Chains A and B, each alone.
Chain A
Amino acid sequence: MNILRIDMGASGGPKVSVVPSGEYAGLGGRALTSSVISKEVPPLCHPLSEDNKLVIAPGLLSGTSAAQSGRISVGCKSPLTGGIKESNSGGQPSQVLARLGYAAIILEGKPKEGNLYKIFINKDGVKITPDSSLKLLGNYALVEKMKKEYGDKIACISIGPAGEMKMSAASVAFTDMEQRPTRHAGRGGPGAVMGSKGVKVIVLDDTGLSNRTPKDPEKLRTANKTFVDGLRKHPVTGEGLPAFGTNILANVINEAGAYPTNNFLVGRFPGISKISGETQAETEKARGGIPTHGCHRGCVIQCSGVYMDKDGHYLTKQPEYETVWAHGANCGIDDLDAIAMMDRLDDDYGIDTIEMGATIGVAMEAGLAKFGDAEAAIRLVKEVGKGTDLGRILGNGAAVTGKVFGIERVPVVKSQAMPAYDPRAVQGIGVTYATSTMGADHTAGYAVATNILKVGGYVDPLKPEGQIDLSRNLQIATAAIDSTGMCLFIAFAVLDQPDTFQALIDMLNAFYGLNLTADDVVALGKNVLKMERDFNACAGFTAKHDRLPEYFKKEPLPPHNVTFQVTDEDLDRVYNW
């Protein structure tokens, strides 16, 4: 596998070099993106400067026949948090990029003349062309234009207007199996970095290429079958997620009193049954949509779907749990159609749905709209797409919006908005929000396979220090899974079924001819976290940044009326290993 480096600031125009992976050989996904950023990007650089880099890396098994191997990582110094960032996504480009033989694309430098470029990559090489006609196109129109130009076998990596305007909440979009720009590396503003490099779209075409060849095809086939069987027989990955999608969580988190409502004011939303995964799936079925669908080929879990409007026309992909919460309960909105419309607009403008929903929640608290006013919320999202003065404030996220409008209750850590779990009700998740290298991130401590991985040895979760130890181990395991490029949703089946976890390791070994053990995977996760932590320290982050906003310690959250009680001293122990 090679690395494709593109210097967008080279004299005479963008310069392409295809180089061997070298010191990055054997790395994929988050391990690769974070390695490049930590080694090659000055931690104190401005995120939108020529010194920052945007790294796009498929997983280790992308482009193979392995199931769930289609995640792709995007890394950079984040314009939202100011720290290191890895944001990952589903979609087709991961598989296509890997089949093209690239372990990563690294965008470097910055065009001096301000051109906007499209990059076309196929088996014959790389072609970079300035194209001003793409300026401020939404992702949907952009992909349609690329299909007309390059045919319908392509996969696209692109930014919308938010990325071009270098908004801190801008996402990088990846096309799905239907060539719609519905999958996004949204967190932390990687779209703004892509915009700063002057790259509007990367078009990938793997025509004439086949899957990557494993060292041991038979062993890979066998391990993959065990892995797939494990996913299919597990009630979460084989039943719950396919039937209701990720929004299956809404009712349960709401019942736990951990579903942030009206900008984290209370933990339960009265309109929950109108926006739950169960109701969403029924709505999709009734309108001729699809409640069970993959985001990339080779997906067995099929937790996505297709959402139609009231007239039965495609509106957007099935909005995810986090999106439904962010644009729904967090803004007091119980209208699925309005939420789906905002999801569509977010995808088209290229903006993170979590950040956008959290920002509108803050804006509502500031009085820009009333909680529950769906039309007003849609208008606010449209301000972002138009790039009005207000839109540029909102497009820079909840922290900026809170400052501009003088709001104290802003649910962010390291300037990144919290996702859909109130840390006062589920305090262990609060530990991860506070200490993650990424800012408040629910996926940073997601890989619930720690007890099988035996990360950090046995932890007694019932001891007071258990939550700290669990959060640390979860973050290590997650960094490891992110580095394989596998979908994090495999974690539940892996947790319950040791043979499924072993099958994952067997697949890696079969493909690369290695003898990895669980210990090696753990070591990889630790190494990734250490690199990220060191980068952040050099960028100016201290223990004081590993904190939740003060009001989480002071304001009790109904209905349980609990505050966040983990001490600062305990939070500081997370990275003691």
Chain B
Amino acid sequence: MTHPEKSHGLTIPERTSPRHISLTVEASLIPAFSQLLQNGFWIKGNVGCSIKSFLCEQFGLSPEYLEKRIQTIFINGDAVDDVEKATVEDGATLSLSAAMPGLAGAVLRKGGYYAAMRDQISFKGETTSASMQAGRVVVKLFNMPLQELGPVFLEHGIWVESNKVKDVLKARADDLQRGCREVIADGRKSEFKQLLEMDWGGGDIFLQVKIV
């Protein structure tokens, strides 16, 4: 997977006042960031292409993983059946999950036998746009993709609401204080405690979390 900001030479407008926080933590602390990944983070990339193109060609996801592991996909809450036809547009929310249990799981599964049972919420915009352009996409990771892709996205960096990040850091402050080996805020080394004391303001920040 490539760095979102370096993907395929995209020209992406810079933030006027970007804040960049990089944490290096023990592996056992990665689950502390789970809710951020479930709630959704955004990444930059070329949009107007298929889900398969977006995830595999731009972010290095293996086609086999997409086909076999990610069995349940939503675009803006619509259940997707064909990853080669469903288009990722600018501002879209793309949610990735493994196969789910039960009838509901079977019904929501991509291209599944029971897809007709959720016809009203199936993704219908299956035409790839004529041209790709730079844009941003909200990604939500659930269950197995959360465990398997979450650390990769965190290492390469995600854009997420700053107040949500601060809430996560506060909620696990004691654990992170112990297990956070390095804190870099806007390019400068810092301490975890100082990070919590900073005024984060509003807006989004670029968060990277690396494992020791």
Contacts and interface: CB of A to CB of B under 8 A. Distances in A.
A277 interface: yes
Contacts of A421: 104
Nearest to B36: A273
B38 interface: yes
A448 B97 CA distance: 19
Interface in B12-41: 31, 34-35, 38-39
Interface string B105-132: 1111000011111111100000000000
Given A251-B143, A562-B121, A279 B77 contact: no
A253 interface: yes
Interface string A541-560: 00000000000000000011
A562 B119 CA distance: 11
Contact of B103 (A243, A251, A272, A442): A442
Contact of A427 (B39, B97, B119): B119
A249 B38 contact: no
Nearest to B39: A273
B211 interface: no
B31 A240 contact: no
Contact of A240 (B35, B99, B103): B99
Contacts of B106: 448, 492, 495
A463 B117 CA distance: 11
A243 B99 CA distance: 13
B117 to A, nearest CB: 2
B113 to A, nearest CB: 5
Contact of B69 (A235, A246, A448, A489): A235
Categorize the interface residue count of chain A: 35 or more
A276 B147 CA distance: 14
A21 interface: no
A373 interface: no
Contact of B120 (A240, A243, A425, A488): A425
Nearest to B119: A427
Given A235-B144, A492-B99, A461 B35 contact: no
Interface string B121-154: 1000000000000000000101110110000000
B143 A240 contact: yes
Contact of A446 (B95, B103, B140): B103
Contact of B38 (A279, A428, A474): A279
Given A442-B103, A495-B106, A560 B77 contact: yes
The residue in B35, B38, B77, B142 that gathers the most chain A C-beta atoms within 10 A of its C-beta is B142
Given A461-B115, A559-B77, A565-B120, A429 B101 contact: no
B180 interface: no
B201 interface: no
**Chief secondary structure at chain B's binding surface:** helix
A501 interface: no
Given A278-B146, A426-B104, A448-B106, A256 B79 contact: yes
B64 to A, nearest CB: 14
Nearest to B115: A461
B100 A236 contact: yes
Nearest to B175: A286
A560 B34 contact: no
A495 B107 CA distance: 12
B72 interface: yes
B29 to A, nearest CB: 11
A285 to B, nearest CB: 8
Contacts of A427: 117-120
A281 to B, nearest CB: 9
Interface in A443-493: 445-446, 448, 451, 461-463, 466-467, 470-471, 474, 488-489, 491-492
A255 B77 contact: yes
A470 B114 contact: yes
A442 B77 CA distance: 22
The residue in B72, B114, B115 that gathers the most chain A C-beta atoms within 10 A of its C-beta is B114
Given A240-B144, A278-B34, A470-B114, A256 B105 contact: no
B187 interface: no
A461 B119 CA distance: 10
Contacts of B108: 252-253, 256, 426
B113 A461 contact: yes
A470 B97 CA distance: 24
Contacts of B113: 448, 451, 461
A548 to B, nearest CB: 14
B114 A255 contact: no
B98 interface: yes
A282 interface: yes
A272 B107 CA distance: 21
11 contacts: A255-B77, A256-B108, A278-B142, A279-B34, A429-B107, A489-B102, A492-B105, A495-B106, A560-B77, A560-B78, A562-B121
Interface of B: 31, 34-35, 38-39, 69, 71-72, 74, 77-79, 95, 97-108, 113-121, 140, 142-144, 146-147
Given A251-B143, A285-B31, 6 more contacts: A240-B101, A249-B104, A251-B97, A255-B142, A256-B121, A272-B38
